[in-house]
């Protein structure tokens, strides 16, 4: 790679800049705003806020690699091989952290609506923390192979980050198999949970035709939008990766491999757009949790006032009325289906 081509910016370079810069400009404020809401506005953490917090941290780590991804394209890397591998792990591995945490949110939403009473046993903030801890252990464990993607003996002057992996990398078929398995399984679970949630909300709308929150289909639109964004962002990369892997393994023509390399770069750009979609997820989950907290406070005040008026414990009939209202509130969760 000579100096004339080393710093040239081709169409892929411009596409990366046009995609990554808006993600950086919009993504950081969304992450900071979400953290502010979690720290100062959410007093009681639920399962959804636990998953949300971990998704924010994951996306924050992922977004840190994007400026370096822009800088490294077709340029010699001068910031050290170890730092390069760290950034590559943030980009390539945390993509799957985002995928798995999104699936956790979808499953949690499905369980809350499909099994509203059993969900009290199946769901808890503590269990959500355990799931997230297991995911983080898995993410960090999968980061170690990233440090072996480049040739250790490669000259520092010709070293490139986020590209030009060693020939041995393309013999490690288990990397590709793991990537595709995680995504395909996640996509199947995501589709199943989203479709079932839409069906449940549709049935709730039939049973409560006068409820304006169900009548406008807002909940179903959000669930379906999340599913479409998830599939649109991640499918291109998981189509490009096996094709490129096969091309490198079978030593296809250099020109063909270069075109496929462009495909990989663009596919990664598309996958990172999911960060902005997660920003919308931050908003709706936090909004629902804040509204749920307000409803709980109003219900507590109502129960207290009822006790004061009657000067005795709530009767069975009053308790049944309160519980019925609580169950209905849980079923018609305002925006995201979370309780």
Q: Please, are residues 84 and 149 in contact by the beta-carbon 8 Å criterion?
A: no
Q: Please, are residues 31 and 286 in contact by the beta-carbon 8 Å criterion?
A: no
Name which of 85, 69, 267 is nearest 169 in CA terms: 85
Instruction: pLDDT band for 165, please (50, 70, 90 cuts).
Output: confident
Residue range 75-88, pLDDT digits in tens: 888 888 889 999 99
Q: Tell me, yes or no, whether 86 lies in a domain.
A: yes
Sole residue written with tokens 């129960």: 303
- CATH number assigned to the domain comprising residue 80: 1.20.1070.10
Instruction: Say what the pLDDT of residue 339 is.
Output: 37
Instruction: Say what the pLDDT of residue 97 is.
Output: 93
Mean pLDDT (the chain) is 81
* Counted domains in the chain: 1
All residues at 6 or more sequence positions from 159 whose CB lies less than 8 Å from its CB, including other chains: 76, 77, 81, 84, 150
Q: Please, are residues 119 and 108 in contact by the beta-carbon 8 Å criterion?
A: no
Tell me the torsion sign for CA atoms 168, 245, 261, 22.
negative
Mean pLDDT of 100-112: 92
Instruction: Say what the pLDDT of residue 42 is.
Output: 73
Furthest-apart CA atoms within the chain: distance in Å: 87
User: What is the span of the domain harbouring residue 100?
Assistant: 3-290
> How far is the CA of 251 from the CAs of 171, 260, 265, 275, in angstroms?
12, 13, 20, 34
In whole angstroms, give the CA distance from residue 112 to residue 284.
Answer: 16
Name which of 276, 282, 281 is nearest 19 in CA terms: 276
Q: Please, are residues 229 and 274 in contact by the beta-carbon 8 Å criterion?
A: yes
Q: Tell me, yes or no, whether 299 lies in a domain.
A: no
Residues constituting the chain: 339
In whole angstroms, give the CA distance from residue 325 to residue 37.
Answer: 27
Q: Tell me, yes or no, whether 333 lies in a domain.
A: no
- Taking the mean position of all CA atoms in its chain, how far away is CA 22? 18
Give the three-state DSSP class for 71: helix
Instruction: pLDDT band for 335, please (50, 70, 90 cuts).
Output: very low
In whole angstroms, give the CA distance from residue 273 to residue 237.
Answer: 12
Percentage with pLDDT > 70 across the chain: 77
> How far is the CA of 250 from the CAs of 33, 168, 174, 241, 253, in angstroms?
48, 13, 16, 14, 9
**pLDDT reading at 280 higher than 80:** no
Mean pLDDT of 138-159: 81
DSSP-assigned letter for residue 162: S
Q: How far apart are the first and last CA of the chain?
A: 56
Cβ neighbours, 10 Å, residue 3:
8
Percentage with pLDDT > 90 across the chain: 35
Q: Tell me, yes or no, whether 58 lies in a domain.
A: yes
Mean pLDDT of 111-115: 90
Q: Tell me, yes or no, whether 311 lies in a domain.
A: no
Sole residue written with tokens 């980061």: 143
Range in 30-39, 53-62, 226-235 the model is least confident about:
30-39
Q: Tell me, yes or no, whether 327 lies in a domain.
A: no
Q: Tell me, yes or no, whether 323 lies in a domain.
A: no
Instruction: Say what the pLDDT of residue 20 is.
Output: 93
Q: Tell me, yes or no, whether 307 lies in a domain.
A: no
């Amino acid at each position: 790679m000579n100096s004339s081509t080393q710093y040239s910016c081709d169409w892929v370079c411009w596409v990366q800049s046009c995609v990554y810069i808006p993600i950086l400009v919009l993504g950081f404020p969304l992450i900071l705003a979400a953290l502010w809401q979690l720290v100062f506005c959410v007093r009681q953490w639920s399962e959804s806020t636990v998953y949300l917090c971990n998704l924010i941290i994951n996306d924050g780590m992922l977004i840190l690699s994007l400026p370096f991804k822009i800088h490294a394209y077709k340029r010699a890397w001068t910031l050290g091989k170890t730092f390069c591998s760290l950034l590559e792990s943030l980009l390539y591995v945390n993509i799957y952290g985002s995928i798995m945490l999104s699936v956790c949110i979808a499953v949690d939403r499905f369980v809350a609506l499909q099994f509203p009473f059993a969900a009290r046993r199946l769901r808890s903030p503590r269990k959500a923390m355990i799931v997230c801890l297991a995911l983080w252990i898995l993410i960090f464990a999968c980061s170690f192979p990233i440090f072996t993607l480049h040739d250790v003996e490669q000259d520092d002057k010709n070293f490139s980050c986020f590209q030009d992996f060693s020939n041995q990398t393309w013999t490690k078929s288990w990397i590709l198999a793991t990537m595709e398995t995680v995504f395909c399984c996640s996509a199947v679970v995501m589709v199943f949970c989203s479709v079932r949630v839409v069906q449940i909300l549709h049935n709730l709308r039939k049973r409560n035709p006068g409820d304006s929150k169900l009548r406008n289909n807002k909940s179903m639109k959000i669930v379906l939008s999340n599913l479409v964004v998830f599939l649109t962002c991640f499918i291109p990369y998981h189509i490009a990766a096996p094709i490129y892997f096969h091309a490198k393994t079978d030593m296809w023509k250099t020109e063909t491999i270069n075109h496929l390399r462009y495909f990989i770069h663009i596919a990664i750009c598309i996958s990172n757009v999911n960060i902005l979609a997660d920003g919308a997820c931050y908003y709706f989950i936090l909004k629902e949790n804040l509204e749920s907290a307000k409803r709980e406070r109003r219900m507590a005040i109502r129960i207290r006032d009822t006790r004061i008026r009657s000067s005795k414990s709530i009767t069975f009939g009053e308790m049944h009325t309160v519980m019925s209202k609580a169950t209905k509130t849980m079923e018609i969760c305002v925006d995201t289906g979370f309780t």
